Structure 1
Amino acid sequence: MTLLRLFPQGPTDCETVLRTLAAHAIPGAEETDVPGRVHTRLLHHAGAPVRVTVTFAEDQITVDLPDEIPDPAGLAAPIRRWLDLDSDTARIADALATDPLIRPLVEHRPGIRLIGYPDEFEAVIATVVGQQVSLAAARTFMGRLVTAYGTPAAGLRTLPAPRELAAIPDTELHTVVGLTRTRTRTLRTVAQRWADGFTFAHLTTDEARRALLELPGIGPWTADYLTMRALQHPDTFAPGDLVARRALGSATEDQARSIAEQWAPWRSYALMHLWADAAYTPPGRGGTRA
């Protein structure tokens, strides 16, 4: 195996990173060992899927790669981007901690990172599949999709490519994956858009968000979530997010939006803190209320 060592800017809250990855891991396509601090998945590199095993520590990330792949160092940049390793978490924590409302969360998890997706199409279809269902249900649906239509590689499976997914009839996709018919149509519409060559590359954040909202079945929450997770924009907040609003004392959307203004220009990281406290706290360990 070839070993890469990646050094992040600032501290990393490894437990929250691993629990974030585990909460969204696609069965059959990803494996997460939270106690062992290890996550394994396929990344596309040099025209082929490569099995990548990432091990987390506070001061460095080690990446195990197959020896036979060309240019293994070429995977360093996409992995750094996926795991948000170039963001200065100490600086972000200091800025957010000036607000007494969120300071306890920042003090509890000062090394939170804005974990993204290695592939924008994966981010979009995973988000569409996960609309209005629990994380567990979303993982189940994505696991069915990968099992039925993914390609085996190195003991895991890839997701279907946009053109492959767009070619599956709605009735078949609805039956196999178990999504509602409306969600199935949205999934195939998104797949067709990417199959036609659409990409976020070279779009501004606002342009990407507007393009998402033009797609049927994509609403403000989905657009905000993808702006944050797929584009990894550091200053996005999703005022319609129910978890965040509950964490803010059952705030309305307008109230949540107003509260979040004081977290600029790091609203995405503040939202990650709210999610981590509500959804990624280890079993048996109480969260720290905002």
Structure 2
Amino acid sequence: MATTRTGTVEDQVDVALDLAGVRAWLVAHAVPGVDAVATDPDGGTRHRRPVSTCEGRAALEVVLPAAGTATLRARGAGAEAALAAGRRWLGLDLDPRPAAATLAGDPDLGPLVRARPLLRVPGAPDPFEAAADVVVGQHVSVAAGRVFAGRLAAVAGVDRGPAEAGRVAALDPDDLQRATGVTGARARTLVALARAVADGLDLGPSPDDDARAATRAALLALPGVGPWTADLVAMRCLRDPDVFLPGDLVLRRAMGGVTAAEAGRRARAWAPHRSLAVVHLWTHHALDPPAAR
């Protein structure tokens, strides 16, 4: 980690990274009005967004070259905390090597893992923001979810973090529905989630299985939060390495069009590394398929 003459804190990514995979994830989930994505002539990309920290607001930039080493830069109050958030965003907080070594021998998933051994489970630069975006993405495409997330950001403010949770918690669900275009049920879920976070529900990363289970149970107790939502939050925000989403349509298609029950049954063989298995299936079949490359 180094500080440049302009006061920007810079961090060269010190581990091997599947650049195409993480680029595809960041582009697919970029929220209008929050995430700015610029593409270089050689195909490299630069991803910029604000990050709220305990010390204030910082500007984070992730530089993903066409080939080589990724770089993270942050400037402003809490710049070092913003860099840590950026590392979680890229999945650098979870070492994929033990999971990849295990999954590489699986008859179904093995070919995908062997083809992309450096793929990681992306996290979230801000837990509440990511959880709220998961809610607005229920039962819609990734592209539609981005549109709703952008509208939510316009209503709640793009500085995100605890301040955003407080603003959403204070909103009337009917007003939120009219402003964002989400369903009434989804608006009520967003307000309930925001109020829970404002009241102390911690959606940040946790290494403790019991703590993650307790947070998942608290999420499931909220109106409109089912297993798909709670589990995706657990994977991206709580950083649970063993999450599977049997009801996810893309995953079921990737597994041959199986039922949710069959998808869950087959995924048991991938425990305790099911989060990485999910990312491999999503990446190969939707986010960055071989045909696109």
Taking structure 1 as the reference length, the TM-score comes to 0.87
Contact 1:18 1:39 in 2 (8 A): no
Cα shift at 1:172: 1.7
Q: Deviations over 1:117-146 (max 9, x none)?
A: 122111211111110111111111111122
Cα shift at 1:238: 1.1
Identify the structure with bigger relative contact order (alpha carbons < 8 Å, sequence gap 6+).
1
**Aligned residue in 1 for 2:35:** 30
Contact 2:9 2:80 in 1 (8 A): no
Pairing 1:61–2:70 present = yes
Give the distance between the partners of 2:189 and 2:267, measured in 1 at CA: 30
Q: Which runs of 5+ in 1 are unaligned?
A: 151-156
Give the distance between the partners of 1:110 and 1:194, measured in 2 at CA: 36
1:115 to 111, 114, 122: 122
Pairing 1:83–2:90 present = yes
Give the distance between the partners of 1:221 and 1:236, measured in 2 at CA: 10
**SS of the residue aligned with 2:102?**
helix
Cα shift at 1:257: 1.4
**Aligned residue in 2 for 1:217:** 224
Give the distance between the partners of 2:283 and 2:251, measured in 1 at CA: 10
Count of matched residue pairs? 277
Contact 2:60 2:72 in 1 (8 A): yes
Contact 1:30 1:40 in 2 (8 A): yes
Pairing 1:182–2:185 present = yes
Cα shift at 1:209: 1.2
**SS of the residue aligned with 1:85?**
coil
Note closer, same or farther for the CA distance 1:287–1:71 as it changes in structure 2 (3 Å cut): closer
1:6 to 12, 25, 28: 12
**Aligned residue in 2 for 1:158:** 159
Note closer, same or farther for the CA distance 1:200–1:91 as it changes in structure 2 (3 Å cut): same
Cα shift at 1:162: 1.3
Contact 1:3 1:62 in 2 (8 A): no
Give the distance between the partners of 1:73 and 1:125, measured in 2 at CA: 25
Give the distance between the partners of 2:98 and 2:275, measured in 1 at CA: 14
Note closer, same or farther for the CA distance 1:232–1:180 as it changes in structure 2 (3 Å cut): same
**Aligned residue in 1 for 2:3:** none
Cα shift at 1:181: 0.8
Give the distance between the partners of 2:57 and 2:156, measured in 1 at CA: 15
Q: Deviations over 1:215-269 (max 9, x none)?
A: 1100111111111111121111111111111111112222111211111221100
Give the distance between the partners of 2:126 and 2:99, measured in 1 at CA: 25
Note closer, same or farther for the CA distance 1:88–1:28 as it changes in structure 2 (3 Å cut): same
**Aligned residue in 2 for 1:154:** none
Give the stretch that moved more between structures: 52-61 or 115-124: 52-61
1:199 to 195, 199, 202: 202
Give the distance between the partners of 1:27 and 1:15, measured in 2 at CA: 21
Alignment of 1:205-284 (within 5 A): 205-281=212-288
Cα shift at 1:71: 6.4
Give the distance between the partners of 2:17 and 2:281, measured in 1 at CA: 17
**SS of the residue aligned with 2:10?**
strand
Note closer, same or farther for the CA distance 1:89–1:278 as it changes in structure 2 (3 Å cut): same
Give the distance between the partners of 1:65 and 1:265, measured in 2 at CA: 34
Give the stretch that moved more between structures: 161-170 or 265-274: 161-170
Cα shift at 1:74: 4.4
Note closer, same or farther for the CA distance 1:73–1:195 as it changes in structure 2 (3 Å cut): closer
Alignment of 1:123-134 (within 5 A): 123-134=130-141
**SS of the residue aligned with 1:64?**
strand
**Aligned amino acid, residue 123 of structure 1:** A
**SS of the residue aligned with 2:51?**
strand
Cα shift at 1:276: 0.6
Give the distance between the partners of 1:239 and 1:105, measured in 2 at CA: 19
**SS of the residue aligned with 1:50?**
strand
Give the distance between the partners of 2:83 and 2:183, measured in 1 at CA: 39
Cα shift at 1:3: 4.4
